[in-house]
Structure 1
Amino acid sequence: MVSPVTVVKSEGPKLVPFFKATCVYFVLWLPSSSPSWVSALIKCLPIFCLWLFLLAHGLGFLLTHPSATRIFAGLVFSALGLLMFAVTHVLYASAFGMRPLALRTGLVMAVLSGLCYALLYPCLSGAFTYLVGIYVALIGFMGWRAVAGLRLVGAAWRWTELAAGSGALLFIISDLTIALSKFCFPVPYARALIMSTYYAAQMFIALSAVESREPVEDYRQTKAN
């Protein structure tokens, strides 16, 4: 088991650009009412830094670890715009894998996703009624796969699973806040809550790729068996 101190020492320096870029975003706090390419660049800068964080582990690492490759691809798609987040969640869920299946966890996540959609449903109309439902199902599925492998105690505990689960739950909080603010009612300090949980979610998910699931050789052998 890798200790948290070891993780901080080994991965902390690689995350310094991400923390600096996040601070730049919150310090400048450019108005969202007048979007520009500068504001879009500053908003995406922390995500670009997470690209560099994964690339800092070596291109060979990404090429030989399918789950790390998918998380990197998810980070790329998440920087391309709101419509690409559905692709991002599919890639993240694929990276987390389907083992262990954890059906009870899936049932809990399905119930929570249903409650979230029930909360939003009266506020939705037209195509959003269906689009939001699909998106809730996707992010709920991603959350299930992220949390499914989480073990908080015992020899099976791994900090990467905790990072994946934390990232997924923070992503759900961020997206639920967006939906409530857009469709239902003004959420106090919505933008600060949305962006802080979003950046933290992406950071934790990127961290979960560091001790990636399995090299390509093991992955192919598993598929063959």
Structure 2
Amino acid sequence: MDILETDAFDRRQRRNTSCVLFFFLLPFFTSAALYFYLWIPDSAPSILAAGVKAAPVLSLAFVVLSYNGWWSLLGVAGGLVMSAGGDTCLIWPKLFLPGMVCFALAHLLYALTYLTSRYSSHSSSSWGMYFFYLLLWGASAGIYIYLLPFLQKSPEPEVFVPAVGCYAFLIVLMATLAARTRASLVLLGGLIFMVSDFTLALQHFKVIEHMDYGRHIVMTTYYLAQLLIAIGDIKAKMEEQADEFRKWKRS
């Protein structure tokens, strides 16, 4: 009977939490829709433009804080705040490097979160996963090598060559640790983030002169990646609480 009660409780909790979570995510969907409606990249750089661009990610940070508490500022919520800082910097082309630093710190915070006990209890590796890690690192190295001649032609090659290399290392590290957690939403978010950043690099460093809907691809994949990472972290917290409840019921 206890098992049946626990299962029924879990189902009710998941159903109720999903409804509440969707309500909390409405500001994200609304602000993201507003961003695409106004299409900020085509407007002049301004504080208003920066606010509209960063609003969806800041709303996600608020949701993660609401579910996971203030300690999440040292994890995914903090990564989302740093990402919002990067969004703000990228509104002004001259602040591309500080923006990249903000995103690098965000990836570092995500990576550290995936090493915590909340995720490590479900993490595992197999030969198949090791092969997947190898593909991730190989793809990242290949992308960097492909970009290297264009980085060397940039206005500040002595800065961007090592900076992009460090950034590539951090984002693939984040994606690798996301895969290690076995959390599908987190892994998918990390992979989509890599696609978004690679598409942005192709355009920013003039690897391609013009890409139809290039900015649309960057921002759509970027917002989607952040959404998946945020929901994945909330889901991991809920599973941790459910495990604690089951242990309490058994005791």
Matched AA of 1:118: I
CA shift at 1:10, angstroms? 4.3
Q: Which has the larger radius of gyration?
A: 2
Written as runs of structure 1 = structure 2, the 5 A alignment for 1:28-177 is 28-32=38-42, 34-57=44-67, 61-63=68-70, 69-81=74-86, 82=99, 83-97=101-115, 99-100=123-124, 102-125=129-152, 126=157, 127-150=159-182, 161-177=183-199
Mapped partners of 1:141, 1:122: distance in 2: 24
Q: Which runs of 5+ in 1 are unaligned?
A: 151-160, 219-225
Task: Looking at secondary structure, tell me which structure has more helix per residue.
Answer: 2
Residue of structure 2 equivalent to 1:192: 216
- Residue identity over aligned pairs, in percent, reads 32
CA shift at 1:166, angstroms? 1.2
Deviations 1:3-52 (A, max 9, x none): 8x847434212111100000000001134462000000000110121122
Mapped partners of 1:9, 1:137: distance in 2: 37
Matched AA of 2:226: Q
Task: State TM-score, norm by structure 2.
Answer: 0.72
Instruction: State whether residues 171 and 198 of structure 1, in contact with CA within 8 Å, keep that contact through their aligned partners in structure 2.
Output: yes
Matched AA of 1:182: H
Mapped partners of 1:199, 1:46: distance in 2: 8
Match status 1:211 vs 2:235: yes
Mapped partners of 1:24, 1:71: distance in 2: 24
Residue of structure 2 equivalent to 1:22: 32
Deviations 1:107-138 (A, max 9, x none): 22111111211221221111222211111111
Residue of structure 2 equivalent to 1:157: none
Matched AA of 1:16: L
| Root-mean-square deviation (Å) | 2.5
Q: Which runs of 5+ in 2 are unaligned?
A: 1-6, 87-98, 245-251
Mapped partners of 1:20, 1:84: distance in 2: 24
42-51 or 112-121, which deviates more:
112-121
Mapped partners of 2:193, 2:147: distance in 1: 17
Mapped partners of 1:68, 1:206: distance in 2: 12
Residue of structure 1 equivalent to 2:90: none
Mapped partners of 1:8, 1:209: distance in 2: 14
CA shift at 1:69, angstroms? 4.5
Mapped partners of 1:31, 1:104: distance in 2: 39
CA shift at 1:182, angstroms? 1.1
Mapped partners of 1:68, 1:77: distance in 2: 10
Instruction: State whether residues 67 and 212 of structure 1, in contact with CA within 8 Å, keep that contact through their aligned partners in structure 2.
Output: no
Q: Which has the higher contact order (CA 8 A, sep 6+)?
A: 1
Task: State TM-score, norm by structure 1.
Answer: 0.79
Paired positions, count = 200
CA shift at 1:187, angstroms? 2.3
